[in-house]
Amino acid sequence: MTFSSTATGADKSFLRSSLLLGIVLIAANLRAPITALGPVLTELQQHFAMTPAVAGLLNALPLLIFACGSPMAPWLTRRLGLERALFGALCLIAVGCLIRSSGLYSGLWLGTVLIGAGIAVANVLVVPLVKRDFPDHTALCVGLYAATMALVAALASGLAAPLSNLTSYAWRLPLGIWFVLAILAAVCWWPQLKGVHAPTPAKSGTQASHAPAPVWRSAIAWQVSMFMALQTLVFYTLIDWFPSMVSGVGISAAQAGTYLFAYQAIAVVANLVTSVAIKRLHDQRLLGFICSLCICCGVAGLLWAPTWALLWLLFAGVGAGMSMVTCLTLFGLRTRDHHQASSLSGMAQCVGYGLGATGPFLAGWLHDLSGGWHAPLLVLLASACAQIVFAVLAGRNRYVEQSRPG
């Protein structure tokens, strides 16, 4: 929603506050329905007699949907506008949560698809919305958005196992309860639809900058996308498989859920600190290096000293929090307007989640093949090392059209 020049200062302040609250509520829905799955995954495997490979595919499915749905989000923006597209995304998430917790095997998969589709659209569109309506505070707004996303995701992980043991609904409760939050966000977002006009085509003078093709031909866009992909691969593999990874060293599912809460909670602090630091730095190369190095240390620790799992998760959590804010902010910093930011966001999340989705599935497959978690953790460590390279490259201060290869 753009702010009219005829509105009073008080009206503009109210509209901006209302919009910011809506963005925060959207953020609260974009990870929790996914992170709630990991702590109850063993229950699902037993209930539906799923192999680890099939469970890994279930874990990877939302990320695959993110990858497939992300390129569609800029198209939806042009057809419906940012506000309407985001409202539709919240409705999809709500319906998906309800269907997934029905107790039916088909409902488990269909609900996961709907949740993934809704999150895919919202993932792409929030940053362009922030760039359009908060151009002078993009990094801080993105930091608040990422911190909210991480905090609620942490609560989802930490509460999943206790909620599962609370009633006879077992795993259905921690997976279905997020329907309530999605409905609340949709209701609060509804006022943003009032007075929103149908989007108009781009003017001929700026059409080239809005077209997606130049973004896909940009070297810096590919570097941002690979940065996104590698941090996504490590993050979701740890979220989904950490309880299984440490079960062999005497850490229970409930304790692992608490550790995952700490993993994501410390990411919230890293989100906020990073959003402040970004505005003070000339470029983001140092941030990219530090966050990637923290992830390397965390994965290496889990590989060689798993009994200290909480310490290593804290290292990885700091790296994950810094990585997420840096990636999201780069969508705006490497582009000149919210149209181009939408295209870069769609590309980076398509590539990022497409490659990132291989992590949970590959980890489950390697575990089946090798009979342990040593091989999957080695792959994660190699991915974290590669992230250092792409993060530093993506952190250079340049725009997408300045870096077309050939």
Domain membership flag for residue 269? yes
| CA distances for 294 relative to 75, 180, 298, 388, angstroms | 36, 35, 6, 10
E strand or H helix that includes residue 252: none
Domain membership flag for residue 14? no
Domain membership flag for residue 166? yes
Host domain of residue 218: 19-197+213-402
Domain membership flag for residue 381? yes
Distance CA 304, CA 306 (A): 6
Instruction: Specify the pLDDT at position 200.
Output: 45
Domain count, the chain: 1
46 contact partners, CB below 8 Å, separation of at least 6? none
Domain membership flag for residue 76? yes
Strand blocks (E) in 271-389: none
Instruction: Specify the pLDDT at position 210.
Output: 42
**Position 93 pLDDT exceeds 70:** yes
> For the segment 202-217, what is each residue's pLDDT rounded down to a tens digit?
444 444 434 444 788 8
Domain membership flag for residue 79? yes
Instruction: Specify the pLDDT at position 9.
Output: 58
Arithmetic mean of pLDDT, 17-36: 90
For residue 236, give the CATH number of its domain: 1.20.1250.20
Q: What is the pTM of this model?
A: 0.80
Tally: H helices and E strands in the chain: 19, 0
**Position 48 pLDDT exceeds 60:** yes
Domain membership flag for residue 375? yes
Domain membership flag for residue 205? no
Would you tell me how many other CB atoms lie within 10 Å of the CB of residue 32? Answer: 26
**Position 98 pLDDT exceeds 70:** yes
